[in-house]
Chain A
């Protein structure tokens, strides 16, 4: 059984990360920005697991668990902010929330 090339795995991870970065830069809907951040975190976790598979160590999987925890905490706070922004501004446009006061 041929092993999966680490280079190809890292290429897939970087393509996914680039797509997430593109989403953050291009989209102005806050929920899409949060989704793109999730895609980027997921791609980082994929890179960790691919690297762990290359050397046959479980450390890559451990790092993915930590990334998963961080993503869960981040998305809880981020979605709460989305709810607050929608409640106060009545829109999901990120450009509308440009006044950082109060």
Chain B
């Protein structure tokens, strides 16, 4: 798992550097998703499979979908189709695809090696759950309040206010 960790670390750094240096937001988002997947593989190599799954589901899934959604929302109109074609020409997929392919090869190699998937140092999801709802239950309550305030804040800010300019 050590080689998996280092290879995923290289992929994460390269993808992040490419993500923040793109001109187009959607291209940057593609690289950022690859970077998050690489970090998820690093979590798996470190022995934290639960957190790795959450990284893929919430970060690369929900949060990035929110980004893409907003980017598409900002550009309504009849020129959307043409613009979308200009945003995502086939060659822009090459970079993220290569990096994601490296991650896939790593994952397959780690699975095919037959050994334990993780270094086995950290707890499984069961232990995480026990600790989360044991000593950290106050933090869970605070997190729920934070999510509620985020929801209310986003709703308040997102209202259709009076137009300026």
Where the two chains meet, the residues of A that have a C-beta atom closer than 8 Å to any C-beta of B are 1-4, 8-9, 12, 15-16, 19-20, 22-23, 26-27, 29, 31-32, 34-36, 38-39, 42, 46, 49-50, 52-53, 56-62, 64-66, 68-77, 79-84, 86-90, 92
**Quick check: A1 and B20 within 8 Å, CB to CB?**
no
Name the residue of chain A whose CB is nearest to the CB of B147. Answer: A73
Closest 7 CB pairs of A and B: A73-B150, A23-B20, A58-B123, A69-B143, A53-B46, A80-B157, A12-B9
Main secondary structure of the interface of B (DSSP, over half): helix
Could you jot down 28 A-B contacts, CB within 8 Å?
A: A4-B1, A4-B2, A4-B46, A12-B42, A16-B16, A20-B20, A23-B20, A26-B20, A31-B25, A35-B20, A38-B59, A46-B43, A49-B51, A56-B122, A60-B48, A61-B122, A65-B54, A68-B54, A68-B55, A71-B59, A72-B147, A76-B150, A77-B154, A79-B154, A80-B157, A82-B70, A84-B161, A89-B165
